[in-house]
Structure 1
Amino acid sequence: MITFASFPAAPAHDGYDGARRYPDGEDGMEVDFDDDDMGASGRKLTSPGEVLTSSQAFMRGHGTFVDNEEVIASVTGVIERVNKLISVRAIRTRYNAEVGDLVVGRITEVQPRRWKVDANSRQDAVLMLSSVNLPGGVQRRKVESDELQMRTFFEEGDLLVAEVQAFFADGALSLHTRSLKYGKLRNGQLVTVPPVLIRRLKSHFVSLPCGVDLILGLNGYIWVSKLTKASEQEGEEGFDAEAVYSNKNDDIDDATRAAVSRVSNIIRVLAAHFVPLTDTVLLDAYEWVIEQESDIKDLLQPEIGEALVTAISAQRQ
């Protein structure tokens, strides 16, 4: 059973001395956390300075430190345990990428044979000229003329969706857009949420029945746009480079514009209440909003947002 709730405030305790202790189990190998610390997703939440367990029974991981043979949380976040390793994943943190992740980013700089991309990480990601889909087929060799035309493909300020391919020695992400499902983004708007709210799904390309496409970037950047025709994503050999790398948006009717704005506001409301975002949650939320016949701008009012989160929570039980 999954329930959703706003991010909980720190619980008050009589005689609280700055550190709450969690006793070990009878065998000294289990950690017994209080039910009050359960977050919206059923995980335990902690705050800096709270004692988690004994360092003699467990090893400290990220987000913790050892003092007086006790493992203590150093950040506010979710407590995670893998065998004897105790760590705390921070609620508010920069995106930590893994190979194969889908990310949405913005071009920040054009350099020789590469683009710098803001991917909401600790440093800008890198998209190499050799890692993009260019006219004439994806397998052809990149030549000097391609390097001279780099700004015709991507320039500063352009948004794109890409996949994490590898990491450089300094930890920077190496991206690629070698498939037509990746590349420049148009006909929509960008919504930013905490990366921790984006759950890993079978597919991060979501199409809603209201004629809206979503790209749920694992780095916390979500692209909301009009529905893309299937034919535009088929066939990679000899593709239309002018259409793929165009900077001009298509004509969008008023109904689609309203749907894009409505979905964007729904995402903002759910993120403000710290609700994990999945395709089913977003679909349920959109259906509830349509049933209520709420105006687009009214979704951002506190009472409407709380009612939406309460309704979604009840549906997921």
Structure 2
Amino acid sequence: MATDTSKYKLRVKDPVESVKFYELLGMKVINKIENPQWSFDLYFLAFDSDKAESPGRHWTDREGIVELTHNYGTESNPEYTICNGNDEPHRDIAISVDNLQGACDRLEQANVAFKKKLSEGRMRHIAFAKDPNGYWVEIIGLKDQITTETDTSSYRMNHSMIRVKSATASLKFYQETMGMTLLRTLKNPDSKFDLYFLGYKREGEVENASATSDREGLLELTYNYGTDDPDSDFTGYHDGNAEPQGFGHICVSVDDLDAACARFEEQNVDWKKRLTDGKMRNVAFVKDPDGYWIEILQNEGLKKRADW
């Protein structure tokens, strides 16, 4: 089953401000789907220059997509709030850049808010910027750093991070059910957490490689020690879809949507929405062990199905 990590969905209050921010990062709106009948619009952004991983391809046929969902009226509703995923520990997204210091300097000059600057804390190799909705955007360096002026056209939409209650259960699900490969593991016993980077293995790629910063569309699982202890009072993480809503889901595009969903059925996955449920017959949603939603859709670059 040929698959790609396609996109990560963020709910936004004001699409104009959010699109402006992600364009500042170097991304481009590569598709917009308007749904006035349901009072929401979708914006799909990706790095799309000649130096990007998969420029010009259909949005379902590439890795590292950010989907912004705007529900009509939220931009003028002072009561509308968004769960950014970190006030209640949850997740972030990450981009890889060619000149780490230069990229951060550029964002600072544009008055972008930071959760953590490079010069702060003990980890001087990563920074966290905040988008207009308070979502964290991790900034990391590509493997080969340059000393000249940073070039956004070379950036990568590297990964999305989710915190998981059980590393064992989540790794089993994403490897065996979703078909991903564990590409890198970082153990941090002193800080009592481990990181696992998964993706769809490419030809010649080595499992548990020492570096994954040049990739796009990866999934990072963060496991904090003790959350799966049966004697712990920890019940789980906010899934992004319960109130207050925020991060919605990750998405995987597949070679054959019907066959993929039949396979998931055989594996007794926890469904949020089957293909046959509701009015939208071109998408399905399964839930991972922590209740995070995973959208399943057809890779339109391999087989035509929907008029997106």
TM-score normalised by the chain length of structure 2:
0.27
Structure with max Cα Rg: 1
- Larger fraction in strand: 2
Q: Which has the higher contact order (CA 8 A, sep 6+)?
A: 2
- Larger fraction in helix: 1
TM-score normalised by the chain length of structure 1:
0.26
